[in-house]
Every structure is written in C-alpha cells, then in structure tokens.
A and B are shown apart, each in its own frame.
Chain A
Amino acid sequence: MSLGKIFLGVVGVGLVGVLGLGGCLYSGYNRAVRMDEDVKSKWAQVENQLQRRYDLVPNLVETVKGVAGQEKEVFLGIAKARESYFQAKESKSISGQVLAANQFESALSRLLVLRETYPELKSNQNFLKLQDSLEGTENRIVVERQRFNDAVKELNTFARSLMGKVYTGLARVEKAEYFEVSQDAKAPPKVQFGSP
C-alpha cells in the first residue's frame, strides 16, 4: 500500500469519526433541549392548576365566612398563603411557589376542619359546589405535579449521565427542581373532601 492510500484511509476514518461525533452531539443537544422544554411546559400546566385553585379560594372563603365569620385566624392563614404564592410567582421563583403551595395545603385543611365545627356548611349547596370545584382543582394539581415530576426526573437523570453532562452543558440546560410535597401538609395528597 502506498503512503497516499494509507493517508486517504486515515482521513476517511477520521471523517467518519467526526461525522459520528457531530451526529451524537447534535442528537444529544436536541434531546437536552427537548427535555428542558418538556419540564417547562409541564410546569406551566402545574401553574395553571395552581392559579385555578387560588382563583377559587376567595369564593369558598366568602361562603364559609357567611357561616363561621368569627374564625378569623383561619381566614388569615389562607390569605397569607395565597399572598406568598403570588409573590413567589411574581419573582419567578419555582421553589418559592412550591413552598407557598405546600403552605396553602395546611391552611386549607384548617378551613375544611370548620365543617365539623359548623355542620350547616355541609348542607349549604353553594359551599358544596365550591368544595367540588376546589377538590377537582386539587386533584388536577396532583396529576399535573406528578407529570411535572416525571419530566424533571427524566431531565435530571439525563443531566447526570456521562454524556448527558456534556450535552446539557452545551445546550446550557440546567437541572430542574422537583415539586416536593411538604411532609407536614395536613391535607392528604389525594383529595376527597366530600364524604358524608
């Protein structure tokens, strides 16, 4: 074999190698971007449901106030939790929003405990309907949160893998935070308010 042929062979192999590497980088980069977008869109879904929950709350509170007006502490707790959520949202802090959302759950459970103290709430049609809507929203939050966490898991697992580190670095994609449910949330994760 002549030197020229060997040279060509090496160049050929080199070219294939470069192309292969390029292909890997290309698909890895895309994958990182795709996962990041998935996490972002799933978070948007979670935010939608959270927003819906906070929109429903004032009505619910008004209905309860009509019956149990003197329980000021409970209403204050709810108002505060709502406030802190919107603040966190303003500052675009996901972890802040998560914290506020979890705080809200314990405030909400305190509101619902009032049903025992004021049983007339249970026969108030308005209250029952609002309760249904709120329960529905809480359930939706559970579902969207699960989907969000699944997407975060995928992204984080990828970002921690050997080649994934490279790709996410290239694409400037960062690991995401899970939507952890706080351990001291009094309300059970699967919400079922209305058992007679």
Chain B
Amino acid sequence: MSTRAWQDSIRGLGFLLAICFTRVGHAEIFISDPGTYVVDQASVIAAPHRESIERLLSELHSATSAQVKLLTVRSLDGEDIFRFAQRHAERWVLGGKEKDNGALIVFVPKSAEQRGQIRVQTGYGLEPVLPDSWVGSLSREVTQSHFVRGDYSGGLAVMVDETARRIAQSHGKTLSGGVGRLRPSGRAQGVRKFWGACFLLFLFLMMMMRAAVGRRSSSGWRGLGRSRGFHGDRTGSWLLGSLLWSGGLGRAFGGGFGGRSSGGSFGGGGGFGGGGGGASW
C-alpha cells in the first residue's frame, strides 16, 4: 500500500480504538471526601451554620467514634439519591472498622430539574441507633419546617443536630455544641460550668502572676527598648478572649482541645447496608 493509504488506515484504526475505549453515556459523579465533616458543594450552608455543624460532628466523632458527614450537591445528574448516597458512603468509608459507625447525610436543593431531596444513609453500626422510621420522621419534619420554605442552612443544622444528639444519647454522652432545639439538661452542664469557671479563675490568677512577673522583667529590659514583659499579659488575655468568644465554657474540658482535627476520612471499615431514610419536596 502507498504511504497515504497506510496513514489513512492507521488514522482509521486509531479512531476505532478511541471509540472502543470511550464510555458512551454520562459517567457517574463522584465527589471525593475532602476530609472535612461538611462538604457543601451546593453552597447552601451559611458560614456560621457550617462552623457549628463542623464542630458538632467533630465533637461527636471524638466522643463516640461515630463518623457523620454532610454532603450537599447541586444536582444528582438524574441519579437516584439512594444510589448516590450509598455509593459515596461506601467509598468514603465512614465509621470505625469494627463498629461501622458511619452516616452520610446527602442534600440536594430543589431546582428546575429535580425535586429537593434529603437522605440519611446509615452504616450497619448506626442502624439500631438511627432506625429508618425515626430518620424518615425527622426528614419529613425538617422538610416541612425548613426546606419547603427554602431555609436549607437552618434545616440542615437541625437535622445534623438531632442526629448527632441521638447518637450521643445512645452512648450516654451529651454534646455541648450545635444549634439545639433540645438542650441537654441537668447535671452534665452544671458540672461543666463549674469546671469552666475554675479554669477561668486559674487563668485569671495566671494573668495576674504573669503581669506581676512581667512588670519586674520589663523594667529590666526597658534599657534595651523592649517591653517583653507585657507578653505574658497579652497571651493570657488572648486565651481568655478566645475562650469566651468560642462560647463554650464547658469546651475547655470537653472535646475542644482534643478534637480540633478535621474529619478523619482515612478510617477503615465503613460498611453501609443501605439503611436510612429521607424525604423530598
């Protein structure tokens, strides 16, 4: 064959091969786990809610080993939400290896192409704690009170709150963070407040001591034009300020210091059997 014919046939072959290896039809979306507890792809969660949800889920994780994540997407691309949630929950591998204590909350806002939907996918370990009927009732309730009115952010905060609280309750713990329609009552909070107050007192005393020490050394350093002595003062008040600002007196002894890590997505396990519930509007 002539060179021209060879070139043509090679091109033809290449084209054929390309067709063979190209997948026809749309590929399934997959969003990889970025490591945080809140994955707001649809950008429907307001910043303060996102922070409080993130903190709550982090606290839940460290207190109970239950790993719950929230994923919002703009569109499911025609896929069924059960399948979408199941796929992601399995691949994100939520929950400890032995306990399969994971849950994934998937949310899709209402749009021209699809209904608004919420789905909670529960792992094997959480199935007894989050029964399908309870999840269904909660989803319907939050849908009626928040989602149909467009309050996605607030509604999601409530969903996460109720879910986290129920999980914590089943482990005999109470969480300090969250939006909270139901505040945990009783002694747990009282004890926390007491120790929180002690801690503050301690800090205050430290500040006083530092100030006292500082003044002495600052007078020594003054000759060199540095006022190092005031550092102690500033550090103390910064610590105090940030504690007060974060709003949790109990948090000093709660999960606050320990649980600062981002959502652990590299835990093993994560068995999801398809349990859960949801609602649509």
Interface residue? B273 (CB, 8 A): yes
Interface residue? A194 (CB, 8 A): yes
Question: Among residues 57 to 73 in chain B, which have CB atoms less than 8 Å away from a CB atom of chain A?
Answer: none
> Is there an interface contact between B274 and A140, defined as CB atoms closer than 8 Å?
yes
Chain A residues, CB < 8 A from B280: 192, 195-196
Interface residue? A34 (CB, 8 A): no
Cβ distance A33 to chain B, nearest Cβ, rounded Å: 24
Q: Which residue of chain B is the closest to A145 with respect to CB atoms?
A: B274
Known: A190-B82, A192-B80, A195-B280. A136 touches B275 (CB 8 A): yes
Most buried by A among B133, B135, B274: B274
Interface residue? A109 (CB, 8 A): no
Chain B residues, CB < 8 A from A131: 136
Cβ distance B70 to chain A, nearest Cβ, rounded Å: 20
Interface residue? B45 (CB, 8 A): no
Interface residue? B137 (CB, 8 A): yes
Choice from A141, A144, A192 contacting B82 with Cβ under 8 Å: A192
Cα–Cα distance between A190 and B277 once the two chains are bound (Å)? 13
Known: A132-B277, A136-B276, A136-B277. A143 touches B136 (CB 8 A): no
Choice from A140, A190, A195 contacting B275 with Cβ under 8 Å: A140
Seed contacts A133-B131, A190-B82; 15 additional CB < 8 Å A-B pairs: A128-B136, A128-B137, A129-B133, A132-B137, A132-B277, A135-B132, A136-B131, A136-B136, A136-B274, A139-B274, A143-B86, A190-B80, A190-B83, A194-B136, A196-B280
**A-B contacts at CB below 8 angstroms, number:** 63
Choice from A129, A135, A137 contacting B137 with Cβ under 8 Å: A129
Question: Among residues 238 to 281 in chain B, which have CB atoms less than 8 Å away from a CB atom of chain A?
Answer: 272-277, 279-281
Cα–Cα distance between A129 and B280 once the two chains are bound (Å)? 16
Cα–Cα distance between A144 and B124 once the two chains are bound (Å)? 12
Chain A residues, CB < 8 A from B276: 136, 139
Question: Among residues 176 to 196 in chain A, which have CB atoms less than 8 Å away from a CB atom of chain B?
Answer: 190-192, 194-196
27 A-B interface contacts by CB (under 8 A): A49-B273, A128-B133, A128-B140, A130-B133, A132-B132, A132-B136, A133-B131, A133-B132, A136-B131, A136-B136, A136-B277, A137-B132, A139-B276, A140-B273, A140-B275, A142-B274, A143-B86, A143-B272, A143-B274, A190-B80, A191-B82, A192-B81, A192-B280, A194-B140, A195-B115, A196-B280, A196-B281
Interface size class of B (residues with CB under 8 A): 20 to 34
Over the window 116-132 of chain A, the binary record of Cβ atoms lying under 8 Å from chain B Cβ atoms (1 yes, 0 no) is: 00000000000011111
Q: Which residue of chain A is the closest to B272 with respect to CB atoms?
A: A143
Cα–Cα distance between A129 and B135 once the two chains are bound (Å)? 10
Chain A residues, CB < 8 A from B133: 128-130, 132-133, 136
Choice from B82, B115, B131, B279 contacting A139 with Cβ under 8 Å: B82
Chain A residues, CB < 8 A from B136: 128-129, 131-132, 135-136, 194
Cα–Cα distance between A137 and B281 once the two chains are bound (Å)? 22
Chain A residues, CB < 8 A from B279: 194, 196
Interface of B, helix, strand, loop or mixed by DSSP: mixed
Chain B residues, CB < 8 A from A136: 131-133, 136, 274-277
Cα–Cα distance between A133 and B132 once the two chains are bound (Å)? 5
Over the window 122-154 of chain B, the binary record of Cβ atoms lying under 8 Å from chain A Cβ atoms (1 yes, 0 no) is: 000000000111011100100000000000000
Cα–Cα distance between A143 and B121 once the two chains are bound (Å)? 12
Cβ distance A15 to chain B, nearest Cβ, rounded Å: 43
Cα–Cα distance between A132 and B134 once the two chains are bound (Å)? 8
Most buried by B among A137, A144, A191, A196: A196
> Is there an interface contact between B137 and A144, defined as CB atoms closer than 8 Å?
no
Cα–Cα distance between A190 and B83 once the two chains are bound (Å)? 8
Chain A residues, CB < 8 A from B80: 190, 192
Chain A residues, CB < 8 A from B137: 128-129, 132
Q: Which residue of chain B is the closest to A45 with respect to CB atoms?
A: B273
Most buried by A among B132, B275, B276, B280: B132
Known: A128-B140, A190-B83. A135 touches B281 (CB 8 A): no
Q: Which residue of chain A is the closest to B80 with respect to CB atoms?
A: A190
Cα–Cα distance between A196 and B132 once the two chains are bound (Å)? 17
Cα–Cα distance between A143 and B277 once the two chains are bound (Å)? 14
Over the window 80-98 of chain B, the binary record of Cβ atoms lying under 8 Å from chain A Cβ atoms (1 yes, 0 no) is: 1111001000000000000
